[in-house]
């Protein structure tokens, strides 16, 4: 049996109804993911993490590594003290995000969260090296990504720095794409965008698209696709979950099992208690993700349902930040 390769991955993604854009289909077909994931970690008995490696002397383990690389799944690529620091995102989700980015030739793109460099390579294949800047806080991650990118024949700008600060040196950007989740929109992102530029970022398990206006404000709605990413580290880090609070009172179990309600809970982030959120969810017809949006304007950031100036709005971020 022939070993798995990029063509197999592309077929799997296309079968899901994604990669409709021929330019992105070509990028996924021609950028070998294996060069960016020389090893990854999988759960093992006893709570351990087992490393599957490209150069493992065991042919069976090498085959498992390659099968994992070309399957449509996220891969844990860097773990420190038991905590996931970096991963190669699920390719079908990467494809969805890249298509939502709506790039055209000549656009300048900033990526926040370099990871192993695979997404930066796909962007470079589509737009050219000089149109892509990628930023990550961890020098070990950026050093490894530079090597992976060079091995694949790509040389975008790889910058070690706080992604919350963007990268002023190569601004303005027509597009900013984050491959890590944020609690609030960093001020630097809209400030470093062109008028009409698009910011695409995971937030509260959703995928948010914001258009930047001439006055530096930004607004937009969530896409239907759920998005679970490693949190951004640095100036806009996502607060740690305190945990241990048990099931919220006043909310029936069926709601807690509904992704639509869990998304609303994540968006309210303490500004509504769970019972209030449940009441709102019922009154408004169990809204899907696309009915929610975010506005960033004059130092304020708020989430809204259906209308930025309507009755259902609340501040974005931790309550004590407002």
pLDDT digit string (tens) for 182-205? 999 999 999 999 999 999 999 999
Q: What is the pLDDT of residue 270?
A: 81
CA quadruple 101, 103, 108, 109: dihedral positive or negative? positive
Residues 6+ apart with CB under 8 A from 103: 109, 123, 126, 127, 174, 175
- Residues marked active site are found at 89
Task: Determine the Cα–Cα distance for residues 192 and 175; give it in Å rounded to an integer.
Answer: 10
Mean pLDDT, the chain, whole residue set = 92
Q: What is the pLDDT of residue 104?
A: 97
Question: In this model, does residue 3 exceed pLDDT 80?
Answer: no
Question: In this model, does residue 319 exceed pLDDT 50?
Answer: no
User: Whose CA is closest to 211, among 247, 175, 182, 236?
Assistant: 175
Taking a C-beta distance cutoff of 8 angstroms, is the pair 208, 220 a contact?
A: yes
Give residue-wise pLDDT tens across range 96-124.
Answer: 999 999 999 999 999 999 999 999 999 99
Q: Is 230 exposed, middle or buried (0-12, 13-18, 19+ CB in 10 A)?
A: buried
Q: What is the pLDDT of residue 132?
A: 98
Taking a C-beta distance cutoff of 8 angstroms, is the pair 7, 33 a contact?
A: no
* pTM recorded for the entire structure: 0.93
Residues 6+ apart with CB under 8 A from 276: none
Q: What is the pLDDT of residue 238?
A: 55
Task: Determine the Cα–Cα distance for residues 111 and 119; give it in Å rounded to an integer.
Answer: 9
Give residue-wise pLDDT tens across range 268-308.
Answer: 988 899 999 999 999 999 999 999 999 999 999 999 999 99
Long-range interactions of 21-26: CB distance < 8 A, separation 24+: 21/99, 23/126, 24/95, 24/98, 24/99, 24/122, 24/126, 26/125
Give residue-wise pLDDT tens across range 52-73.
Answer: 999 999 999 999 999 999 999 9
Q: Which helix (H) or strand (E) holds 25?
A: helix 22-30
Q: What is the pLDDT of residue 235?
A: 58
Structural domains in the chain, CATH included, are 6-221 (3.40.50.150), 253-321 (no CATH)
Residues 6+ apart with CB under 8 A from 121: 31, 36, 148, 149, 152, 154, 156
Question: In this model, does residue 22 exceed pLDDT 70?
Answer: yes
Give residue-wise pLDDT tens across range 307-317.
Answer: 999 999 999 97
**In 13-82, at which residue ranges do the beta strands (DSSP E only) sit?**
39-44, 48-53, 75-80
Q: What is the pLDDT of residue 321?
A: 44
Give residue-wise pLDDT tens across range 234-275.
Answer: 655 555 444 445 567 789 999 999 999 999 999 998 889 999
- 53-57, 78-82, 132-136, 282-286: range with lowest mean pLDDT: 78-82
Q: Which two tokens stand for residue 140?
A: 């070990």
């Amino acid at each position: 049996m022939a070993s798995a390769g990029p063509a197999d991955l592309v077929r799997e993604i296309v079968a899901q109804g994604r990669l409709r854009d021929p330019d992105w289909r070509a990028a996924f077909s021609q950028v070998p993911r294996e060069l960016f994931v020389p090893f990854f970690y999988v759960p093992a008995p006893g709570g351990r993490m087992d490393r599957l490696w490209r150069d493992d002397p065991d042919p069976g383990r090498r085959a498992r590594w390659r099968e994992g690389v070309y399957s449509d799944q996220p891969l844990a690529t860097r773990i420190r003290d038991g905590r996931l620091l970096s991963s190669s995102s699920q390719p079908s989700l990467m494809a969805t995000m890249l298509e939502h980015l709506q790039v055209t030739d000549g656009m300048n793109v900033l990526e926040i969260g370099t990871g192993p460099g695979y997404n930066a390579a796909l962007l470079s294949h589509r737009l050219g090296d000089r149109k892509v800047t990628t930023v990550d806080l961890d020098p070990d991650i950026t050093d490894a990504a530079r090597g992976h990118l060079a091995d694949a024949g790509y040389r975008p700008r790889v910058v070690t720095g706080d992604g919350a600060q963007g990268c002023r040196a190569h601004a303005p950007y027509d597009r900013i794409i984050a491959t890590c989740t944020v609690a609030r929109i960093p001020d630097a992102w809209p400030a470093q965008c062109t008028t009409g530029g698009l910011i695409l970022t995971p937030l509260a398990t959703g995928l948010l698209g914001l258009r930047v206006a001439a006055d530096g404000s930004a607004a937009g709605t969530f896409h239907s696709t759920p998005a679970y990413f490693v949190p951004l580290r640095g100036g806009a880090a996502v607060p740690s979950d305190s945990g241990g609070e048990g099931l919220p009172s006043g909310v029936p179990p069926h709601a807690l099992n509904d992704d639509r309600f869990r998304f609303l809970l994540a968006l309210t982030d303490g500004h509504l208690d769970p019972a209030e959120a449940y009441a709102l969810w019922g009154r408004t017809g169990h809204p899907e993700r696309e009915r929610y949006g975010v506005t960033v304007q004059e130092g304020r950031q708020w989430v809204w349902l259906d209308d930025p100036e309507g009755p259902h709005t609340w501040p974005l971020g931790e309550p004590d930040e407002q």
